Amino acid sequence: MFTEIEGEWDEVMDVVKRATLAVAEHGTRVSLVLKADYRPGHVGELDGKVQRLEAALGDRA
């Protein structure tokens, strides 16, 4: 299970930090895996991916 977020570097890292600290309140250890796809000049890729998929599926109908 994964969660994907998109945004400016510092904003994304702040979300990661706050989420980790929130989970840490309920246990003694938090493990996380972070994968970054850094693509300067590209924004809205998560929404774009959904739109491209919907368009591809619409072509089949």
Could you give the 3-state DSSP secondary structure of residue 50? helix
pLDDT of residue 23: 95
> 23: closest CA among 12, 31, 13, 14?
31
**Angle in degrees, CA 2, 34, 53, rounded to 5:** 45
Map residue 3 onto helix, strand or coil: coil
In the chain, domain spans: 9-60
Digit-by-digit pLDDT tens for the chain (61 residues) are 788 899 989 999 999 999 999 999 999 999 999 999 888 888 888 888 889 899 999 877 6
Report field, pTM of the whole predicted structure over 0.75: no
- The predicted pLDDT at position 38 comes to 87
Distance CA 54, CA 21 (A): 36
Dist CA 58 CA 61 (whole Å): 5
